[in-house]
Structure 1
Amino acid sequence: MTADHTPGRVTGADGPAPVPAHGPVRAVGVLVPARDERDHVEACLDAALTALARLPPEIVTALCLVVDRSGDGTGAVARRAVAAHGHTRTTVDVIANAAPLRIGEVRNLGARTLLRRLHPVAPERTWLLSTDADSTVGPDWAVRHLHLADAGVDAVAGGIELDGPGRLGADPDPSGCARPPVPDLYAANLGVRAAPFGEVGGFPAVVSGEEHALLDLLRRAGHRLVTGADIVVRTSARTQGRAAGGLADLLRERAAERPVTAVEVPAADGG
């Protein structure tokens, strides 16, 4: 699979994606922030480790769960889940943060831990994946991200599927004018090459929307991005979230506008 064969919108440098001069990806890290997620974290870790196990054996893999100011025993549940999984190939770090960090800073804490673990693989050949503790990735999640990375893409944003009733997207307002669409960018399904990630300073220190802010920096720097990629992660449809301004707040706003009972998945742009 290449970027040209994957549904999604390609932005960045003009022309077809170049074959990376630095060679294919040889290290993959998954970062997951978690706050009071004891009910979801086991399924999240099991799915992420299963996805990493699908990668070729020559690829070094690591996972970092950042337990952010959690008071429900998320870290202990996570450590038991990792031990029960029995996947020894991937190095797993479960680290705790007690400082009042913004979500962008929390993700950067995980990213720095991963880069230390994946050293000495060059940043140009290292792919960082981001998901959330209330989400479960598919078995082919990491493999499909790497197909795009090895085609010369520097960042990939995939879609999400809700695990219960909820609504994404927008409806026409009463005047008949279309409301702006909800951008299909989610930190629960994001991949970025470590070199450009470091070049732009990682995730901006924002309280929400860190995925939008990061991709905006990468786009401005001229890196090649794929948004709306046909790679889907299943995530919680809860309307009471852990971070202000996150997906839960969006779903609560949509539910207040028009309650629905069917799961809606954002359509990928053609490109």
Structure 2
Amino acid sequence: MERIGEVAVVIPVHNEEHLLPAALAAVCAAADALQAQRPAVAVRILVALDSCTDGSSAVASRCAAADHRISLLQVTFRSVGGSRRAGIRAALGSTGTGLPHDSPQLWLANTDADSCVPENWLLRQLELADRGADAVLGTVEPDPESTDGDLLRRWHLRHPLGEDHPHVHGANLGVRASAYVLAGGFPRLRSHEDSGLVERLRKHGSTVWSTDTIRVRTSGRTDARAPQGFGSYLLALRREPAAALKG
């Protein structure tokens, strides 16, 4: 299996001025950790600003001015699926190292603007890619500092975390460009595009690994930005009868 030579991180954003600074700082720290151990690997961070009406664009612009690895893309989908696809399309269209858009040496890492990745996030994904993974599915945990205690307990009852877990989260997903292109990319869905991509990858015979070694912390808010997204799910979980959780 060819070693990864370039990583493109894609972050869709819709009105996340308060959480975006921490999200970008965490991704930059993960990029620093990767390049400290693998300096030959180029890293780009693409921020897809989708119909933002708050200060998200200004926040992203300040971060881009401070870190040359960050670039901005303005889109008007009002859809996390649409903005994620657009970010990937931009990453494939302008690889910084001149790799072909469907190169097995290009890695596409995905997270969200309300989430903070761990420092080993990219390094671990590339370690698994070196061992044969075409895609890596990480776990997600609501941030205990911003999540109601009962809701957090409910989340863990419903989502036991560990290796070979069954979960798919766009906030913690990496994929080799060659596998992404072969599978046809993210499907054109307003939500659940992450699960749709993984289904396509498996149908095309890609090697998909699930791990809890790169757990991402995401906002525990229930005022959802995306219909049928993570916040909507948390709201439904909070309203679910306790008896149903035990079942």
Where on the TM-score scale, by shorter chain, does this alignment land: which range? 0.7 to 0.9
Q: Which has the larger radius of gyration?
A: 1
CA contact (8 A) 1:184 1:228 kept: no
The more displaced of 66-75 and 226-235 is 226-235
Distance 2:166 2:207 in 1: 18
Residue type of the alignment partner of 1:209? H
> Unmatched 5+ residue regions in structure 1?
1-19, 172-181, 260-271
Following superposition, the deviation at residue 104 of structure 1 comes to 2.4
Distance 1:220 1:138 in 2: 30
**Cα deviations by residue, 1:222-267 (Å, 9 ceiling, x for unpaired):** 11001244320010001112110011111001100158xxxxxxxx
**Paired residue total:** 223
Following superposition, the deviation at residue 87 of structure 1 comes to 3.9
CA contact (8 A) 1:102 1:205 kept: no
Q: Does 1:225 align with 2:237?
A: no
Q: Does 1:112 align with 2:94?
A: no
Distance 2:51 2:67 in 1: 27
CA contact (8 A) 1:155 1:193 kept: yes
CA contact (8 A) 1:46 1:82 kept: no
Residue type of the alignment partner of 1:32? I
Q: Quick check: which one's helix share is greater?
A: 2
Q: Does 1:256 align with 2:239?
A: yes
Match of 1:43 among 8, 22, 25: 22
Following superposition, the deviation at residue 103 of structure 1 comes to 2.8
Aligned to 1:234: 217
Change (3 A) 1:162 1:38: same
**Cα deviations by residue, 1:32-84 (Å, 9 ceiling, x for unpaired):** 0000000011111111011011121100110100010110021111111333x
Distance 1:111 1:194 in 2: 9
Q: Does 1:162 align with 2:162?
A: no
Aligned to 2:186: 203
**Cα deviations by residue, 1:63-119 (Å, 9 ceiling, x for unpaired):** 100010110021111111333xx444x2x2111112x36432211110122221335
Distance 1:54 1:137 in 2: 12
Secondary structure at 1:187 match in 2: coil
Aligned to 1:33: 12
Match of 2:127 among 118, 137, 147: 147
Superposition TM-score, scaled by structure 2 size: 0.85
CA contact (8 A) 2:117 2:215 kept: yes
The more displaced of 117-126 and 156-165 is 117-126
Distance 1:228 1:258 in 2: 30
**Cα deviations by residue, 1:150-196 (Å, 9 ceiling, x for unpaired):** 1110001110121123332666xxxxxxxxxx951110000000011
> Unmatched 5+ residue regions in structure 2?
159-164, 243-247
Distance 1:97 1:160 in 2: 26
CA contact (8 A) 1:196 1:218 kept: yes
Following superposition, the deviation at residue 120 of structure 1 comes to 1.5
Instruction: Give the share of equivalent positions with the same residue, in percent.
Output: 34
Residue type of the alignment partner of 1:46? A
User: Structure 1 residue runs of 4+, over 6 Å off?
Assistant: none
Distance 2:6 2:211 in 1: 24
